[in-house]
Structure 1
């Protein structure tokens, strides 16, 4: 409610499953949790390209992009996604989070690439995840102001 009063809309998240990854349970759980937490959720399903996700994020004027990956191709897909955000001039405006089976050893590199937060199966409390996402959104909005 406070977010809506300050920014004129509910927080918006686009949830994407890029690449050939076909297991959508995690993305769907996050989408439902976000909706229950008061977010507007844009979820297009599986096998999206980085271009699809970024274009949707821009068209829908989202506050955060959530990526779900289980396929092991997270480094390559994140490179594509961040390059597309750069191309559209949206990298600093839209924080990106990542969830899935991500080796701990890959997380620092993903953060260097611009991922704001990586969630793994150890992060199972959906309310904690939603609170973290909201904190990231608010921080991005403060930085942009």
Structure 2
């Protein structure tokens, strides 16, 4: 992940950004900028951004303690969870089944699985799933 640290001035200008791929280096850059007492006269905020958005906006106009490294809500690597209480699972399926699931999800395998499950839930609510289960079990035998 890429982190950028810069100062935002009251007139809307920004300082030269300092880029880093490491949180520790970004925090060190932030600490050095905030330690410069001359900035408090003209600067509005010291900002840390990442490739996913703004991480911290530290207001330099009001006296407040500088946050420690652990107090900053650093973004996590990888995809963010889009479902609450979701779980990652793995499954082995044949290519035709994969193509079918992807077509249900308009190219997205995960979206296709969600859509298939919601369709099965709907069929279950309508009591139409039992005949399909009997037909599937008879085909396996």
Tell me if TM exceeds 0.5: no
TM-score normalised over the length of structure 2: 0.27
TM-score normalised over the length of structure 1: 0.27
Structure with max Cα Rg: 2
Q: With a CA cutoff of 8 Å and minimum separation of 6, indicate the structure with the bigger relative contact order.
A: 1
Structure having the higher helix fraction is 1
